[in-house]
């Protein structure tokens, strides 16, 4: 089957009309006995039901690492095979784009780095990646510590008063405070108060979520969209966020102008270590619209994803007290009462494994939701062709691709223009790829081995994607989670509150719980700290 496909690609590159090529080559292909991708049928009504995810996993067990799922006029190829995922994301990534994702994300991210393709993506990626250098990450670890300390103070009050706390919203606020400072030097201070801008961010996020599960896009209906109080509120919120971003960009420009700038690779401004400051100082030549899109993209990408990891970690810890004890033992001996530093990140190995395992388990669920959202978004697109194009797909970490040319995936030839969904859920939970795949077991990766990533796990583990479009915030997010978890379990014990509602995942847009994570927080009666003696320090002490 190789030659016709090569010929076809060649002709297509020479500018032959695609329709004609398709007609001719379909006829030729029809005479070939190549393998056809297995096909499974779905229906819109199945998507609306709670149990939508389970069939997807069962379809994988029935049809294998790649199969076609058809919904009326639309079909997708579902990939659950590590080597095919690697081929699409890494080895032949040039032949794939983000496809429909760009349209769906337009509402909040515009041409930001996550949805962008082609030249815009290349230029923006090259500008943004250097901003997250080693020295920046070190500065961020300080920020993570301060922000988590604010949360600890809040929990201290709750522990004294004997009041239960809803941890999910606190984690959401913690990560919002962090990402605001980290990306554009804005202190949302949402852990302390509800300012207009904090409310605006949540209005937009909630709206994005609601829209993505609505079968009919009523927010696009003319007149209604202007008079509905709710839509007016959303519009005002978006405007407030955009105006705030414009102000922050202006303030930062002024700072950069006034500074005696000596820009170099590891440039950090002490007063404002944000990504925005780095970009402006680097002379990044970019429109303010593009800059705003990138900032907004990073705000969304780095906010709820990190909050979700924390929420599900504490939920799982409440179920596994032995894991919590082990964590506390490690944190006590590595940190004592200090704020975490970059050196500690390497030493907190067990803490890191816990996060790796939470990501394996929960990120996968996240992807279920993405699949759901994606199909619904396509459906919305389908029934709102005549309306203004405004579709929503709120959470960024999705492995959605469209083929830009014909390709071979394993033994199957595929055509240009196919929509792919790489099911991280199936990869992370596959009984063929993992031992006790449903079990929460941080020790599945030995502590003295490397931290698992997509490369050393051969693409069966993809919490941050892989290849050229891999997450730019992977190290940021990992350290943020390590610092927060270490500081919290060092000070407190966490248990599910008595009479707390059952913790379930929503099939909504994100990885939220249905009714929050209500916990009882108690101050730890600390065991004596067993410091791990560093010989150099000891010598210095003795010398004094
Ligand atoms: C891309 C996950 C935190 C910024 C991605 C992708 C995944 C992901 C899976 C790849 C999407 C694809 O291939 O289609 C996560 C998770 C996070 C996290 C699970 C937290 C636990 C962050 C943070 C930032 C960030 C903190 C910003 C500082 C981005 C950007 C991209 C991206 C800009 C697009 C990169 C590109 O296309 O070139 N993320 N992310 N992420 N992430 Fe993250």
297 lines ligand 1 (CB under 6 A): yes
% of the chain at pLDDT higher than 90: 48
Q: Cα separation of 183 and 302, whole Å? A: 9
**Token pair 């962008």 in the structure block, residue:** 116
Q: Is the CB of 471 under 6 A from ligand 1?
A: yes
Per-residue pLDDT, averaged over 297-321, amounts to 88
CA-to-CA distance for 526 and 317, rounded, in angstroms? 19
Residue 8 sits at the vertex; the CA angle it makes with 2 and 14, to the nearest 5 degrees, is 140
Pure H helices in 43-166: 44-48, 53-63, 82-86, 101-109, 118-128, 134-161
Q: Tell me the ipTM for this assembly.
A: 0.97
Q: What is the mean pLDDT of residues 388-414?
A: 69
Tokens (6 digits) for 31: 């005479």
Q: How many CB atoms lie within 10 A of CB 456?
A: 11
Q: Are strands 419-422 and 400-403 parallel, antiparallel or unpaired?
A: antiparallel
Task: Write down the residue that tokens 């080693």 correspond to.
Answer: 134
CA of 404 from ligand 1 middle (Å) equals 22
Is the beta carbon of 25 within 6 A of some atom in ligand 1? no
Closest ligand 1 atom to 308 CA: 21
84 against 60, higher pLDDT: 84
| 474 Cα: distance to centroid of ligand 1 (angstroms) | 7
Q: Average pLDDT in the 488-514 region?
A: 76
Highest mean pLDDT: which of 338-342, 369-373, 531-535? 338-342
Q: pLDDT band for 151, please (50, 70, 90 cuts).
A: very high
Q: Measured between alpha carbons, how far is 526 from 489 in angstroms, rounded to an integer?
A: 11
pLDDT at res. 231: 85
Asked if residue 59 lies in contact with residue 40, where contact means CB atoms within 8 angstroms, the answer is: yes
What's the whole-number average pLDDT of the chain?
Answer: 82
Atom of ligand 1 nearest to the CA of 297: 33
Name which residue sits closest to atom 11 of ligand 1, judged by CA. Answer: 397
Q: How many CA atoms lie within 13 A of 53 on its CB side?
A: 19
Instruction: Report the separation in Å between the CA atom of 114 and the middle of ligand 1, taken as the mean of its atom positions.
Output: 7
Is the distance from CB of 353 to CB of 445 less than 8 angstroms?
A: yes
């Amino acid at each position: 089957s190789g030659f016709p496909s090569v010929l076809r690609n060649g002709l297509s590159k020479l500018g032959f009309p695609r329709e004609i090529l398709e007609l001719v080559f379909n006829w030729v292909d029809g005479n070939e006995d190549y393998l056809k991708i297995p096909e499974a049928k779905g229906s819109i009504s199945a998507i609306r039901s709670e149990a939508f995810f389970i069939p997807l996993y069962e379809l994988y067990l029935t049809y294998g690492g790649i199969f076609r799922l058809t919904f009326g006029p639309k079909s997708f190829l579902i990939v659950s095979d590590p080597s095919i995922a690697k081929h699409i994301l890494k080895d032949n990534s040039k032949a794939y784009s983000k496809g429909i994702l760009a349209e769906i994300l337009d509402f909040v991210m515009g041409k930001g780095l996550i949805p962008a393709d082609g030249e815009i993506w290349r230029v923006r990626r090259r500008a943004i990646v250097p901003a997250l250098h080693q020295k920046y990450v070190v500065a961020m670890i300080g920020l993570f510590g301060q922000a988590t300390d604010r949360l600890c103070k809040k929990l201290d009050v709750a522990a004294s008063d004997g009041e239960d706390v809803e941890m999910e919203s606190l984690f959401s606020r913690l990560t919002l405070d962090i990402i605001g400072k980290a990306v554009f030097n804005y202190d949302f201070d949402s852990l302390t108060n509800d300012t207009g801008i904090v409310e605006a961010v949540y209005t937009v996020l909630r709206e994005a979520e609601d829209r993505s599960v609505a079968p009919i896009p009523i927010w696009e209906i003319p007149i209604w969209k202007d008079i509905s109080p709710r839509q007016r509120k959303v519009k005002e919120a978006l405007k407030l966020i955009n105006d705030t971003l414009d102000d922050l960009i202006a303030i930062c420009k002024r700072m950069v102008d006034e500074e005696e700038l000596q820009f170099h690779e590891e440039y950090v401004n002490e007063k404002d270590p944000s990504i925005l400051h780095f970009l402006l100082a680097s002379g990044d030549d970019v429109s303010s619209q593009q800059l705003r899109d990138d900032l907004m993209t990073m705000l969304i990408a780095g906010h709820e994803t990190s909050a979700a990891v924390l929420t599900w970690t504490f939920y799982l810890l409440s179920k596994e007290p032995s894991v919590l004890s082990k964590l506390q033992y490690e944190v006590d001996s590595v940190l004592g009462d200090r704020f975490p530093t970059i050196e500690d990140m390497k030493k907190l190995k067990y803490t890191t494994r816990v996060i790796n395992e939470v990501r394996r388990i929960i990120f996968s669920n996240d992807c279920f939701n993405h699949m759901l959202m994606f199909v619904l978004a396509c459906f919305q697109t389908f029934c709102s062709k005549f309306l203004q194009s405004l579709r929503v797909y709120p959470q960024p970490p999705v492995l959605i691709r469209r083929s830009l040319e014909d390709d071979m995936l394993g033994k199957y030839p595929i055509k240009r223009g196919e929509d792919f969904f790489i099911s991280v859920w199936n990869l992370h939970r596959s009984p063929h790829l993992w031992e006790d795949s449903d079990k929460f077991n941080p020790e599945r990766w030995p502590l003295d081995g490397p931290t698992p990533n997509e490369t050393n796990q051969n693409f069966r583990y993809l919490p941050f994607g892989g290849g050229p479009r891999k997450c730019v915030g992977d190290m940021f997010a990992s350290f943020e989670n390590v610092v927060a978890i270490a500081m919290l379990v060092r000070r407190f014990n966490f248990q599910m509150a008595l009479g707390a509602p059952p913790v379930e995942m929503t099939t909504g847009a994100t990885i939220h719980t249905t009714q929050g994570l209500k916990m009882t927080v108690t101050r730890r009666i600390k065991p004596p700290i067993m410091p791990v003696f560093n010989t150099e320090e000891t010598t210095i002490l003795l010398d004094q």
